[in-house]
Structures are given as structure tokens and as C-alpha cells.
Structure 1
């Protein structure tokens, strides 16, 4: 462990199985080591950000449908069927990029809702989130980390699961459950919560719901066209074909493009979790949901 200043520390742990985990800690919260600069300074900039009435923030826990939701929002807002690539993430990218965007702005975040701009907490702009079965989330996260250079975790799947359910989880500034609790505590009409599994199984109905929330007016034909163009295989092909290398990610990826799309299916956790791991996860899930009073309706099958 080494101190960078009085407010932020860099934490590294290595266990008996040589699992290595590194992150930034600020005021008791863990942050991805890719979080921009000094955590306190960047959080302060985010908190004071000037929010425009037509801003839309896609705030999703990593590997829970961020790019899927972002591209749906962008098609609906732009009135086109173009692939819009990767959102600018206000926690992982330079603050000024969003400041320089023309309205209407759509940007993203993986961090917890408590760290969002103060004006957004007061109801300015809109926030859209998507909740996914946490077993599928941690499996997708593990495979993504395997394809990237070290961004703070190198180890076994079992170790990642243990991190995922703990308050030392940098991917959500605390456990997945605490991240969800923040979304449930956000009592505002400017927030739309969607289910990953329901979006996959009832895509058109969710596109209609999203269009209504975003207050965009499109005919049925266009909404069906959006539904067709956000199918997983089409988005994956577009990402592989159209996304240019990025200097921001070249130090952690082979070609400067994030390995965003894998399978996008429901129930992939069954191919990764052992019976014992699944039963232990279910026990923790039940305990956390009851302790935190979460209103979750997650499909595990």
C-alpha cells in the first residue's frame, strides 16, 4: 500500500493463491485504478458539473448492458439507425470531453449514483440504468478482464466472485448490492430502471418505454427498425467493424478497442459457477437483499 496524498491511497492485495487485486481507495470507497487522476479532484468536478435539461446519462454497472442501452438511446435520440460506438464515461475519461459535447448530450458512467452531478440529483437531465442477473454480470466481467491487460485484477474466477460481493469491489465502488441500493435510493422521475433480461426477451416493448421516457416521437416502423438494429449480433459486428482504436484504452487492450461484446445471453453463469459456488452466491444474495431491503426481481434461470 502506498499513499498518493492525504485523501487517496493505492491498495494492492495478493493472497495465498497469488490472486492480485489493486484499486484506488477514497473516503472508504474503492475505485477502479482507471478512474481519472486523483479520485477526490475528479469527483469534485463531476459533482459541480453543469447539467443541461436535455442531458441523458446511461449509468450502468459494468457488463450489464451499457453499450446495448447506450446505442438504443442514441438511435432514439438521433432518429437514425447508426451504430454510435462506446459512450464517454464521466468516471473513466477526461472531464472536458463531455463539456465540449454539443446538445443533446448522452454520456455514461459505471460509478455509483451517489457520486453523480448534484444538479442531476436534483432532477435536471435524465438517467437510464439497466439491472442484470449478477451471476451473469460477474461471469462476463471475468472474461472481459482475461482479454485485457491488468487493470487491477489478475486471479481466479472464485476470487473475483468474492470481490464482487464485497465492499472492496472497485467495479461498483462497493459490492454489486450496494451499487443497486444507490439506484433504488434515487427517488426521482428522471430515472428509468430497466431489466436486462426483460429487455432481451421483450425488446420492442422496452424500446417503446425508453422512447416515451426520453420524450422522443417516432412512428412504429422506426421503433421496430431500432429493435432490429440493436440485436446483439448486429451491435457486435458493428463494434468490430466501425470502432476505431482509442488512445485512452491502448495501454490495456491489444488494439485500443475494448472487448465489449461477448455473448450477451441469459444464464451463461451455469457454464462457469460450480454447484458449491452457486449455492454460496445464492446464500449471500438472499442475505444482502434482506439486509439492504432491496426490491430486486432478478431472473437467475
Structure 2
């Protein structure tokens, strides 16, 4: 985990109309953020002109080497309603948010797709640790619970167990990919927004993976200007957006390793 301002995050003041998008990394965070932003505002011009990390900053990271990791001070100065992203476990969220002051949208994705996508983005960003440079070694850190944002089962179960709370919306990535308009309607209902079918179609089009991949406001291309990236890696910040890719990529042994994570959900009702 990032530890930059973790104690301040726990004690921070939240607002009734805050919307927090809470995910394990590479679980559809950016696509969900774009949907939520447009459901709230229908401001497509700003969505195409202002970087998504300004419109929905990540609270986890404060790093002055990068233009958008501005930390809590930036978030505290934002106008309402604020849209905030995080990969933190539920128990590390602000105490006020956990007590219902603000809304939480949690997105979960099949861990076999997650681990592939996370390795590829870390490889592209040149952020793999010394013990993670091969996919097998990286996979072991996720399965063993020592990798970034791990352990995965605890992360997703903490949100799943609160899915029936009135200020929580729990979303499966696979459902979003299968039917984006239906996902947009669910988000709109949760946020108390009324949209026309034309609105829904415009948001759907904006959030098509092909369009997001070409959109400099969401595709992380700016990283090339400030750090080393590995364009020989197989992945980018925006990949295929499909579910089930793991079936063509993971070996039988690798797949069985991730099955151990899924087995830790037994009895919870959360199934893949």
C-alpha cells in the first residue's frame, strides 16, 4: 500500500455528496470513474479536456514528481460533489465515510484477469520490484498476499460484505462489460440522477474501450513525458477491456494458483 497520508485519510472530513470509487487495482476503476463523472455532470466537453486524475483524484498517493498525485490538500479544496478514487482496503477508508457520510461504489473483477492486467501495467510503467520481474514471480506475490493492495480476498470481501448498505453500490466488472447501458442506469439510480436514453447512449459511447484508449485524458500517455515507460511490454494503461482473457494466457498451473484466492471467498456468496 501507499502510506503517504494514510493516518490523515482515516481522519479526513468527508461530505454527504462525496462519491468514492473503491477498487482493487485494474478492476475497471477508470471506466467506472468516467461513467460516474458523466452520470453526475453530463459534461462531455470537460471529460474530453480535463485529465481524469484532476476530475477524480486518487487519495492514496501524494508524489510531487507527478502532476496529478497532489494528495489530500487538493481533494479538500475541490468543489462538491467530489469524485474520489482509491485502491485502499475498506478498513483504511475515512471513518466518516464508513459511517455513511458519502457514497461508495465498489467494483470487483475476476482475479485471473486482474493479475494479468496489473502485471502488464506495472511492466509498462517500469514499476516492478526486483522480485517481480517475471510474471510467475509477480503472480506469487499476489497469491501470497505480499503484492500491492493485497491480499485480494480481504480487499474484495470487505466491500462485498457491505453491499446492502444504502450508501454502497457493489458492481461486477464483468456485468459492466456485458451491458454498459444497464451499468450506467444502476449508477444513475444509486446517485439519484435521471438520464434520458440519449444521455445513456452518449456515456456508453464515451466509455467504449476503443475510445478511451485514444483519449489522452484517460490513457496515461502523459507518463511518457515524465518517466521511463516500457513500450515493448504487452500492456498499456487501457488494454482490451474484455473479460475472460486469462483463459488464453494463464497456464494450468498459474490458473490453479489464482484458484486459491477465489477459494478464500467460499461461503461469502461472492462467486466468479
Q: Please list the CA deviations of residues 225-254 of structure 1 after superposition, one character each: whole Å capped at 9, or x if unmatched.
A: 11121111111111378867379x934647
More helix by share: 2
Rounded to whole Å, the distance in 2 between the matches of 1:278 and 1:246 is 32
Q: TM-score, length-normalised on structure 1?
A: 0.77
The reply to whether residue 178 of structure 1 matches residue 154 of structure 2 is yes
Which residue in 2 is equivalent to 1:152?
129
The reply to whether residue 295 of structure 1 matches residue 269 of structure 2 is yes
Question: Which structure 1 residue ranges, 5 or more long, are not aligned?
Answer: 1-30
Q: Please list the CA deviations of residues 211-237 of structure 1 after superposition, one character each: whole Å capped at 9, or x if unmatched.
A: 010111222211121112111111111
Q: Which has the higher contact order (CA 8 A, sep 6+)?
A: 2
Rounded to whole Å, the distance in 2 between the matches of 1:241 and 1:141 is 17
CA contact (8 A) 1:56 1:106 kept: yes
Aligned partner of residue 159 in structure 2, secondary structure? helix
Aligned partner of residue 31 in structure 2, secondary structure? helix
Which residue in 2 is equivalent to 1:224?
201
For the structure 1 residues 267 and 244, does the alpha-carbon distance in structure 2 shift closer, same or farther, using more than 3 Å as the test? closer
Rounded to whole Å, the distance in 1 between the matches of 2:41 and 2:264 is 40
Report deviation, 1:176.
0.9
CA contact (8 A) 1:113 1:183 kept: yes
Number of residue pairs matched? 253
Q: Please list the CA deviations of residues 174-193 of structure 1 after superposition, one character each: whole Å capped at 9, or x if unmatched.
A: 31111112112336211101
CA contact (8 A) 1:85 1:243 kept: no
Report deviation, 1:270.
2.2
Rounded to whole Å, the distance in 2 between the matches of 1:149 and 1:243 is 14
Question: Which structure 2 residue ranges, 5 or more long, are not aligned?
Answer: 63-70
More strand by share: 1
The reply to whether residue 89 of structure 1 matches residue 67 of structure 2 is no
Which residue, 164, 171, 176 being the options, matches 2:142?
Answer: 164
Rounded to whole Å, the distance in 2 between the matches of 1:214 and 1:287 is 33
Report deviation, 1:36.
4.8
The reply to whether residue 55 of structure 1 matches residue 24 of structure 2 is no
Aligned partner of residue 129 in structure 1, secondary structure? strand
